[in-house]
Structure 1
Amino acid sequence: MIEIERKFLVKSDAFKHEAHKQTRIVQGYLNSNKNRAVRVRIKGETGFLTIKGTSSASGLSRFEWEKEISKHEAEALLNLCEPGIIDKIRYEVKVKNHTFEIDEFFGENEGLIIAEVELTSENESFVKPLWLANEVTGDSKYYNSQISKNPFKNW
């Protein structure tokens, strides 16, 4: 239940031509406290309830628990969320042995594109595609829970 990932900004839309899957995601936060976040998400036609803990000192890993729920349940829970619902399309791109998830944000976060790659250890190596830009791993400004409170348009 420990999630290890690195996060990067994206400098071009070249990833769209490499994507093997794309899914619309709408999500909100029932709790966006820095020590724990409780998220409700609709990904395609499926709902999820997720709890995330505090990040490690490196920002690379943190506790994550996720449970699939019905889309109907997720829609009802979204009505209880804090202000700042996130709307994005997630693209999945396979690069060698890893899959990058690239989120293109809309609404108040239009123009922000973030790529994440999940790893099995904090020091695992991976191939960096040319469309990756600066690493923002551990920078809480780029956490979805923070983007919902302080959208990209305000930066």
Structure 2
Amino acid sequence: MIEIERKFLVKSMHFVDNAVSSTKIVQGFLNTHPERTVRIRIKEEKGFLTVKGKSNETGTTRFEWETEIAHIDAQKLLQLCEKGVLEKTRYLVPFEGHNFEVDVFDGENKGLILAEIELTTESELFQKPHWLGEEVTGDIKYYNSQLSKQPFNTW
């Protein structure tokens, strides 16, 4: 239940050509405390409840627990979330033995495109596709919980 990931800005839409899937996501936060976040997410017709712990010093590693919940329950829980529900399309893009999840944000975060890669260790090496931009791992303003409070279009 430990998540190790790195996050990057995306500098072009060229990733779409290699995407193997795209999924509409709506998510909100029941709790955005610095020590933990509790998220409700709807991916297409499935609901999820996720708890994430505080990131380590580098921002790459943290506790994550997720379970699927009924779609109707997720819809009801979204109504209880803190202000700032996020909408995005997630693309799954395989590249050189790894998968990048690329989020194209809508709504108040329109114009922001982020890519994440999950790793098995913090020091794991991986190839970077040409469309990958600046690394923003550990920069809390790019955390979804913060984007819900301070959207990209307000920066």
Instruction: Name the TM-score, length of structure 2 as normaliser.
Output: 0.99
Q: CA deviation at 1:2?
A: 0.5
Q: CA offsets, 1:27-76, max 9 Å, x none? A: 00000111100000001110000000000011110000001001111000
**What is residue 104 of structure 2 aligned with on the other side?**
104
**What is residue 12 of structure 2 aligned with on the other side?**
12
Distance in 1 (CA, whole Å) between partners of 2:96 and 2:153 is 34
CA RMSD of aligned residues (A): 0.4
Give the letter aligned to residue 144 of structure 1: N
Q: Indicate the SS of the match to 2:28.
A: strand
Q: CA deviation at 1:122?
A: 0.1
1:119 lines up with 2:144 in the alignment: no
Instruction: Name the TM-score, length of structure 1 as normaliser.
Output: 0.99
Q: CA deviation at 1:97?
A: 1.2
1:44 lines up with 2:48 in the alignment: no
Q: CA deviation at 1:140?
A: 0.5
Q: CA offsets, 1:66-108, max 9 Å, x none? A: 0100111100000000000000000000002110000000000
What stretches of structure 2 of length at least 5 have no aligned partner?
Answer: none
Q: CA deviation at 1:125?
A: 0.4
Give the letter aligned to residue 128 of structure 2: K
Percent identity of the aligned residues? 60
Q: Indicate the SS of the match to 1:17.
A: helix
Residues 57-72 of structure 1 aligned to structure 2 (within 5 Å)? 57-72=57-72
Aligned length: 155
**What is residue 23 of structure 2 aligned with on the other side?**
23
Distance in 1 (CA, whole Å) between partners of 2:89 and 2:105 is 7
Q: Indicate the SS of the match to 2:54.
A: strand
Residues 56-95 of structure 1 aligned to structure 2 (within 5 Å)? 56-95=56-95
